[in-house]
Structure 1
Amino acid sequence: MNKDQMPSRRRALLAGAAVLAAAGQAGLFAAEPTVIRGAPRKAAPTPAAPAQTGAAGPPPRMRQPVKASTYRLQPVTGYGPPRRAPLRTPVRRAPILRMSGLGRKMVLTFDDGPDPRYTPGILSTLRKHDVRAMFFVCGEMAADNKDLLREMADDGHAIGNHTWSHPLLTSLSRSGVRDEIESTSEVIEKTVGEPPLWFRAPYGAWNRATFQIGAELGMEPLAWTVDTLDWTTPGTGTIATRVIDGAAPGVVVLSHDAGGDRSQSVAALRSYLPDLLAEGYGITVPRRRRI
């Protein structure tokens, strides 16, 4: 059977197939619809047919280079921990005299040490009653008695800065004040692993440079509310009476564990500490204050 003798229906099918093939080659059909998860199905746009350039046929399609997404190059906002400004110690114009917000609690402080003749007796009494105190140490004493400094830290006491050589700071230049304070902070940090957070000026003599330098080194200035005057060696009973009479919530008591004969101070602590506890007072160590 020749071509002219094919059934008319078969000839029609062959003709239709030829038309479809030609249309596909010419790019007249849309591509398979692109599916994006979560979005409706949309057909990709049909590219424009290239211009004819002669018998050689259309040139190959050139794909545009893919550019990196600008979004991926930018930090994503709203993620990650928020940035916090570093805490700074305020520069005060006067030292702290008493601690608020402690309830029926007091703070016991001891200056000028550590001294191997008297500091161990004070540490022993504090340990016996399971209470914590503050020791404002002098750098030259701390450097010679690092074992006592570590014992203070191990027992949970707060170690404060009382300058290197106990000078009258108001008589020194600014650089001299810094040397006295900074060198003491260094020996404390190197010995116990943490810098002091509190500072006390010898003789209670403060000035602007003292407050500024102390704040720059991360320390708060702490004075006192009750002065036992134990350095005058008034007698064990007198020292104990001054503490008991001055007892009140938030009171800061000043005593000494070095700088002279401090045997009365050691004995007085053994006397008044049990009495304070019996009267319902707690002995505590203040935490860092912020304005």
Structure 2
Amino acid sequence: MTKDQVPPRLLTRRRALLAGAAAVTAAGTAGVFAKVAGDTDKPVRTAAPAAGAQARPALKPSSYRLQPLTGYGPPRVAPRRTLIRREPLLSVSGRGRTMVLTFDDGPDPRYTPHILDTLREYDVRAMFFVCGEMAAANGDLLARMADEGHVVGNHTWSHPLLTRLSTRRIREEMERTSDVIEDTYGERPVWFRAPYGAWNRTAFRLGAELGMDPLAWTVDTLDWTAPGTRTIVDRVGNGAAPGVVVLSHDAGGDRSQSVRALRAYLPQLLDSGYFVTVPERHYA
């Protein structure tokens, strides 16, 4: 029997099979696009199989078919581990004339907003080592720090002398502050600074357990002594150098001199070619 002599009923059945397969394929494709392009995670109901005989059984999903291509998604890396240090970091590394400005003891609604205004005016990022009790009372300022790209570090809850505290008390001071920072800033801190610069082995160990590196400073403005705006400006200018970390305060007393000094020395640093930024973490 030749091709032209095939009975019409066979052509009709073949067409039905092809039409059925095409309908199943189209339904499956529609289901996939609905799942990917939809705005919700509601499961998509699978379309009922089209009428007609199946050419072969439907393939079952396999682990291979469900694996994403290796070129997509973040690479798999080993968990990062924070080193337990024996002394705090005093400076930072960076390209060119890089410096870091840090402010302790805040946030304080009387002075911190003015410091943030100056940093925003010159498009500069800084670090704020906050006390938990101050952060809990001024969450809006931590939220602003996050919005404007500043780094928030842990400066304990109540600014105690850590070398006189038990291990339990030190952990409580650090952990409670990290919790508040996470709630208001949006991320847990990865830097901590001991009040008064008083470090011990327990503080280093607990800080590392909480995922934080200890950062001290290179230039101390001693602004907490209220030496005068001009003196603070001179101390920053005379101590400026690549990798320097400057210590100032935005709380803990009258910090109006610190506010005025920042407005004077920040543009001077930038005009001198310094790049004022925040440090990067280095993991083991």
Q: Same fold (TM over 0.5)?
A: yes
Distance in 2 between residues matched to 1:117 and 1:176, nearest whole Å: 30
Distance in 2 between residues matched to 1:254 and 1:138, nearest whole Å: 15
Q: Is 1:150 the equivalent of 2:143? A: yes
Q: Is 1:110 the equivalent of 2:94? A: no
Decide whether aligned partners of structure 1 residues 151 and 83 sit closer, same or farther in structure 2, where only a CA change above 3 A counts.
closer
| Matched residue SS, 2:145 | helix
Q: Is 1:222 the equivalent of 2:224? A: no
| Matched residue SS, 1:106 | strand
Q: Is 1:93 the equivalent of 2:66? A: no
Give, in angstroms, the shift of residue 83 of structure 1.
Answer: 5.7
Q: Which residue of 1 aligns with 2:202?
A: 209
Pairing of 1:123-134 with structure 2 (within 5 A) = 123-134=116-127
Distance in 2 between residues matched to 1:273 and 1:82, nearest whole Å: 39
Q: Residue type of the partner of 1:168?
A: L
Q: Residue type of the partner of 1:141?
A: M
Q: Which has the higher helix share?
A: 2
How high is the sequence identity, in percent, across the aligned residues?
72
Distance in 2 between residues matched to 1:92 and 1:178, nearest whole Å: 17
Q: Is 1:122 the equivalent of 2:86? A: no
Q: Residue type of the partner of 1:158?
A: V
Q: Which residue of 2 aligns with 1:36?
A: none
Q: Is 1:235 the equivalent of 2:228? A: yes
Distance in 1 between residues matched to 2:131 and 2:139, nearest whole Å: 12
Q: Deviations over 1:174-207 (max 9, x none)?
A: 0000000000000000112210010000000000
For the pair shown, the structure with the greater C-alpha radius of gyration is 1
Q: Is 1:160 the equivalent of 2:157? A: no
TM-score, normalization: structure 1? Answer: 0.72
Pairing of 1:1-291 with structure 2 (within 5 A) = 84-291=77-284
Q: Deviations over 1:112-159 (max 9, x none)?
A: 000000000000000000000000000000000000010111100000
Q: Residue type of the partner of 1:154?
A: D
Gaps of 5+ in 1: 1-71, 74-78
Q: Deviations over 1:216-268 (max 9, x none)?
A: 11110000000000000000000000000000001000000000000000000
Q: Which residue of 1 aligns with 2:10?
A: none
Distance in 2 between residues matched to 1:85 and 1:182, nearest whole Å: 25
Decide whether aligned partners of structure 1 residues 280 and 82 sit closer, same or farther in structure 2, where only a CA change above 3 A counts.
closer
| Matched residue SS, 1:130 | coil
Gaps of 5+ in 2: 1-61, 64-68
Distance in 2 between residues matched to 1:231 and 1:274, nearest whole Å: 22
Distance in 2 between residues matched to 1:192 and 1:125, nearest whole Å: 20
Structural RMSD (CA): 1.8
Matched positions, count: 216
The 4+ residue runs of structure 1 with deviation greater than 6 A are: 79-82
Give, in angstroms, the shift of residue 287 of structure 1.
Answer: 1.2
Distance in 1 between residues matched to 2:263 and 2:217, nearest whole Å: 21
Distance in 1 between residues matched to 2:185 and 2:105, nearest whole Å: 18
Distance in 2 between residues matched to 1:177 and 1:227, nearest whole Å: 25
Distance in 2 between residues matched to 1:99 and 1:142, nearest whole Å: 26
